[in-house]
Structure 1
């Protein structure tokens, strides 16, 4: 019996009590979803719910009295061994072994669909993440957003949402000018400008721009006048850098559906369109020769200039146009992932959302990520061989590989700073969390192979009542939690919940394995339903480990 099936039984019991007038509630009073969770202390039962505490006051009775009514009826349901009332009105539910064991078969038969739901069905979500400036390789902070953002997209898709992964391509503004000047200077053998960009990658790209131009039969751009040369280095240098960024992200398992060019907002009239819309809504005014947005009406600490007195659009003007464009493309929700240095940005963005008539934190969400520090040999890793001043995603991939890099970055809450131990993530030990989880999956695959070699086949028998050992009860209970973990991870925008769950599941599985609950016969022992049934449980664990690792974009190896 799954938690969802148990929740349905509870709802049916409450509906029956209402229909028979046993409680002073209406059908509308009953919660659409009844939360069923594992009790903190395993000896209290398989599952627990506080539904009586939720409804007691509304029913005009103590939660304990309501819980007693529910317990009496629920205990008579098939598959329920006993129901106890605890504390102020909690219900602790113990399943019969057969009812609990049937979950193993249900998981295997569901396969990749186990853990999915339709909580976000019908929602079109635009998820913007990474969006690093195309002026250098992606640094380790961007790598964190790549891992977390892609995992979050997978989670929301598992909950039925239509998710578009979007990269905002910052190809407009002063930083691009500095990048072009830096390339030109290095191509001419000069030092980069004081406010420019350094690192070996600048020299590499500058050389490629010159080589590509010459190969195409064009003049060497270093021999052109500064303005003409800079324009060539701007266009080709940015394109080359961005090609590198996309290739690196692809290697890291992250591909975007849309690459949106900032420059297009200014070239297409989207900025003027957004300002005109806000003017129609009465939120734009003129003062001191500039155009302002009344963001203070929507909780911002001050109004914002959107067109400066010299006629140039302020940076926020691009944000206005970009947000409106997302909404006009039909997205119900825009989620933006930003670094820790953008925390002060939230107020004006939410005010902008409200000014368009939308609901902050519903139509627009902003997630803030904290810093990542790399550690090797107990010492901080501070610089990249190629980028010079920062550690890059390429450095991470070279040090530990894609799987360990993604898992290590996604397993901690994004709003907490983390120290990533490269030595640990590269090790083949149980202290390495990604190795620990992947090894558990490889072990399930190895057991399945051995079972097949010895003639143990699932389809020849399944008796869930045989899964009666405490280690099997614990493993079934942990497997049953996976759908809730997926749903909460998507709802709270916290993919790290999946990683932490997988580590717990791996631990419970290894304990079950160590209890000698054999899947394959020993010596001359005949194959029995016990072996076959435990193979179902082994393969159910394999399914959940693979599904969970898939949500994190991490492979589930068959051998290690």
Structure 2
């Protein structure tokens, strides 16, 4: 079950409680769900009871108790517990894994994308600054994934090398006739020149840091080792492709099925992907997507060794399920890199 699906489930449970007369309140259009913080329990938590307690004329914990009781009746939810002043902690029943993996496989690299277009429009205006233009270019891609039509303008025509090496695109340049909100990540890099890294490493070097951080543009971004997060992501993707090839040699293919407890972190990362894309689009923050891809790659690599049979072991349903999960991880990694304008090679 993805966060979006769980949000709809929470709203459905609350509406059932209202329809049954257990509460009297207007149910909002959206319910916020998120991973619990340090020390929290369950797979997700929601603050919906706190949000509507005032309108319901009931203490938040009472509203949370009603909501949690209704949630336990919903398919895909093992149990829901009231915590704190009125939060509801939700534990999925473990059957959400196959459904999530099947959804990723069905949507492909468009998993997490919004279709059809929402009709929303966005205008991004940048100074004549390499990092600002690259961030605007990636933000355009992410916003388009969320159904938003985007126009990018800049104070001056991008340098020819920016276009040739990094493939950035600006729809118009010059001083706009009316003031626009300027997208300016600071500070910008100075030396060494990020273009010397090549298109993929240069884009990563400029997109990965938070907007207020100095981007590092040294040769560490080209290192083929664990300390380089871009390498880990691309290596993880290449590993998923290799697992598919190796499985074919062993005579089996992927099939979503029950997942192991060791896959919890990876399933969580895959399930969070649509929310990460939506947040990165809303906040014009491609660095959020870069950090999510690092998390996804690390979660996959931690359990990649379990995918194929060992020794004389025969392929089983568990191996087919793990392979399906690995392929879903590869799909998310490749799709995420594509939105950043970075390639995902099948071989490293």
TM-score (norm 1): 0.59
1: CA distance between counterparts of 2:200 and 2:332? Answer: 18
Residue 424 of structure 1 pairs with residue 220 of structure 2:
yes
Q: 1:523 aligns with which of 306, 311, 315?
A: 311
Matches of 1:455 and 1:125 in 2, distance apart?
49
The reply on whether 1:397 has 2:195 as its aligned counterpart is: yes
Question: Residue 127 of structure 1: CA displacement?
Answer: 2.7
Report if the CA contact (8 A) 1:67-1:91 is conserved.
yes
- Check whether the contact 1:47–1:93 (CA below 8 A) recurs between aligned residues: yes
Q: Verify: 1:408 aligned to 2:205, yes or no.
A: yes
Secondary structure of residue in 2 paired with 1:441:
helix
Partner Cα separation in structure 1 for residue 153 and residue 231 of structure 2: 31
The CA distance in 1 between the partners of 2:144 and 2:81, in whole Å, is 38
What's 2:130 paired with? Answer: 143
- 1:117 aligned residue: 114
CA distance in 2, matches of 1:527, 1:118: 38
Where 1:58 maps in the other structure, the secondary structure is helix
Match of 1:95 in 2: 92
Aligned counterparts of 2:308 and 2:100: Cα–Cα separation in 1 = 21
- C-alpha contact (below 8 Å) 1:425/1:432 kept by paired residues: yes
Matches within 5 A, 1:455-466: 455-458=251-254, 461-463=255-257, 465=258
How big is the alpha-carbon RMSD for the aligned residues of Structure 1 and Structure 2? 2.1
| Residues 181-211 of structure 1: CA deviation (Å, up to 9, x unaligned) | xxxxxxxxxxxxxxxxxxxxxxxxxxxxxxx
The answer to whether the 8 A contact 2:126-2:182 is kept is: no
TM-score, normalised relative to structure 2: 0.93
Select which of 472, 480, 503 maps to 2:271.
Answer: 480
Tell me the CA shift for residue 548 of structure 1. Answer: 1.0
Between the aligned partners of 2:183 and 2:195, the Cα distance in structure 1 is 25
Deviations 1:254-285 (CA, angstroms, capped at 9, x unpaired):
133x344x5xxxxxxxxxxxxxxxxxxxxxxx
- Cα distance in 2 for partners of 1:425, 1:112 equals 25
- Structure 2 residue 267 is matched with structure 1 residue 451: no
Count residues in correspondence: 348
CA distance, structure 2, for counterparts of residue 405 and residue 551 of structure 1: 15
Match of 1:559 in 2: 347
**What 5-or-longer segments of structure 1 have no aligned partner?**
133-141, 171-241, 263-317, 324-348, 350-363, 375-380, 382-390
SS of 2:33's partner is coil
1:17-70 CA-to-partner distances (Å, cap 9, x unmatched) read 111211121xxx212111111112486111111111111122111111111111
| Residues 204-223 of structure 1 mapped to structure 2, 5 A cutoff | none
Partner of 2:210: helix, strand, or coil? coil
Contact between 2:76 and 2:96, CA under 8 Å: does it hold in 1?
yes
Counterpart residue number, 1:19: 19
Contact 1:475 1:509 in 2 (8 A): yes
What's the CA shift for 1:525?
Answer: 2.1
Q: Report if the CA contact (8 A) 1:117-1:487 is conserved.
A: no
Q: What's 1:82 paired with? A: 79
1:129 Cα shift? 3.2
Q: CA deviation at 1:444?
A: 1.3
CA contact (8 A) 1:441 1:556 kept: yes
**What does 1:33-112 correspond to in 2, within 5 Å?**
33-41=30-38, 44-112=41-109
The correspondence for 2:140, drawn from 150, 153, 172, is 153
- SS in structure 1 of the partner of residue 251 of structure 2: coil
- Check conservation: 2:60, 2:85, Cα contact below 8 A: yes
Aligned to 2:187: 371
Q: Deviation string for 1:230-254 (max 9, x for gaps)?
A: xxxxxxxxxxxx7xx2354132121
Preserved contact between residue 125 and residue 182 of structure 2 (Cα < 8 Å): no
Going from structure 1 to structure 2, the CA distance change for 1:403 and 1:47 (only over 3 Å counts) comes to: same
Does structure 1 retain, via aligned residues, the 8 Å contact 2:205–2:215? no
The answer (yes or no) to whether the contact 2:118–2:147 under 8 Å persists in 1 is yes
SS in 2 for 1:56: helix
CA–CA separation in structure 2 for the residues paired with 1:55 and 1:432: 45
